[in-house]
């Protein structure tokens, strides 16, 4: 299977980390500011203005999310010199959508110009490993329909969750102080606020679209390996879930980032790489021209780069996407691939190793080979 075209889109609202600190709902302690700077994100794009007010109850609009996905998808088809009617299957992956049901693909189909009979798939909740899963679904479709083109659209729009959960926060404590709190419930609440702040400054918004076919020039997807929940409760290392409030029609939101995530990222990706590359793992890893590794945070990228002894120039795309756009969840990998392919010259047979990992807890590994 070949990746024929990669395209990305970001919202027009762009913020530096310093600008977001200035409009944050409360004054941030110096220690918390340093935690934010250590994430490795300098800028990000958000679909909403960071200081826009909300009513006591606001029905969130899907319009900006849909428009962003439309932009990325139209770019991909135009760059590939295809009509939307050349597409035989449409696969959409996302985590956040103001509509819990119907899914994002249903919102996009007629806006893109598909007819009502297009084969389509919604993949929700795969988080940072979503892109690899979408590629596998495309490969399965092409096995039965080898003449088709498949359009993948991956939403990395996260601000519906992480932007709105910090509204109204009055104060935030430094992490060292939180650990000293004896009252269990108070400690949990202060940790929850601290995590919400980190998520707000870590994640950005963006969408990516990819066109794949059974044959053609570009990146050949040779093999994909996935691993999830080696232990039954590993999924609790990172999650977003609903909470119930004692009012009619009211729901809350709870998210968590555990300190074990960097260690789990190394553990899971190691297993995925071994299964992907087999006995030739070390040789293939050394021979890879580039790596595309999910933008968890700068610390996580550093840990994984050190563990696999990856030279910085082979991983620079991941660091730059994190710095310029923030963590884009499932869209981070196509953003990195688009940047890597557009800014580097590849020879026939050059290899890119791709790693996704995160909430689930899941990891994926794929070997992409440049073929022309």
Tell me whether the omega of the peptide bond preceding residue 311 falls within 30 degrees of 0, making it cis. no
**Confidence label for 218 from pLDDT (cuts 50, 70 and 90):** confident
Q: Give the pairing of strands 43-46 and 13-16.
A: antiparallel
Per-residue pLDDT, 362: 94
- Give the residue ranges of DSSP H helices in 206-311: 261-277, 281-287, 298-308
Q: What is the pTM of this model?
A: 0.95
Query: What is the SS3 assignment for 170?
Result: coil
E-strand ranges in 229-312 read: 238-244, 251-257, 290-293
pLDDT tens per residue across span 50-65:
677 777 788 889 999 9
Class of residue 103 by CB neighbours under 10 A (exposed 0-12, middle 13-18, buried 19+): middle
CA–CA separation, 320 vs 340, rounded Å?
Answer: 10
In this prediction, residue 55 carries a pLDDT of 78
User: 134 and 152 in contact (C-beta within 8 Å)?
Assistant: yes
Q: Nearest-5° angle of CA 160, CA 71, CA 136?
A: 80
Residue 296 contacts residue 357 (beta carbons within 8 Å):
yes
| Domains of the chain with bracketed CATH | 2-160+201-216 (3.40.47.10), 222-371 (3.40.47.10)
93-115 residue pLDDT tens: 999 999 999 999 999 999 999 99
């Amino acid at each position: 299977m070949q990746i024929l075209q990669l395209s990305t889109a970001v919202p027009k609202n762009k913020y530096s980390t310093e600008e977001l600190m200035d409009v944050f709902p409360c004054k941030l302690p110096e220690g918390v500011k340093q935690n934010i700077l250590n994430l490795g994100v300098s800028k990000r794009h958000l679909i909403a203005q960071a200081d826009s007010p909300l009513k006591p109850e606001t029905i969130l609009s899907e319009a900006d999310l849909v428009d962003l996905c439309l932009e990325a998808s139209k770019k991909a088809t135009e760059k590939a010199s295809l009509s939307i009617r050349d597409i035989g299957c449409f696969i959409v992956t996302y985590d956040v959508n103001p509509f819990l049901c119907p899914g994002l693909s249903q919102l996009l189909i007629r806006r893109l110009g598909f007819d009502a009979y297009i084969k389509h798939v919604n993949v929700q909740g795969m988080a940072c490993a979503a892109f690899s899963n979408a590629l596998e679904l495309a490969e399965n479709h092409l096995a039965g329909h080898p003449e088709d083109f498949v359009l993948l659209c991956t939403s990395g729009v996260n601000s519906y969750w992480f932007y709105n959960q910090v509204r109204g926060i009055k104060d935030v404590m430094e992490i060292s102080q939180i650990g000293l709190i004896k009252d269990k419930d108070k400690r949990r609440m202060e940790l929850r606020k601290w995590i919400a702040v980190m998520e707000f400054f870590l994640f950005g918004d963006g969408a990516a679209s990819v066109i794949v076919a059974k044959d053609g020039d570009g990146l050949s997807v040779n093999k994909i390996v996935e691993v999830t929940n080696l232990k039954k409760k590993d999924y609790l290392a990172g999650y977003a879930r609903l909470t119930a409030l004692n009012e009619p029609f009211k729901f809350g939101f709870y998210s968590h980032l555990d300190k074990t995530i960097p260690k789990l990222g190394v553990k899971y990706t190691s297993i995925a790489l071994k299964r992907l590359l087999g006995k030739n793992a070390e040789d293939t890893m050394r021979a890879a021209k580039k790596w595309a590794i999910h933008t968890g945070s700068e610390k996580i990228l550093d840990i994984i780069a050190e563990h696999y002894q990856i030279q910085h120039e082979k991983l620079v795309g991941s660091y730059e996407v994190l710095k310029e756009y923030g963590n884009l969840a499932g869209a981070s990998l196509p953003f990195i691939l688009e940047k890597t392919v557009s800014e580097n010259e590849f020879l026939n047979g050059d290899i890119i190793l791709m790693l996704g990992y995160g909430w689930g807890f899941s990891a994926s590994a794929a070997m992409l080979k440049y073929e022309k």
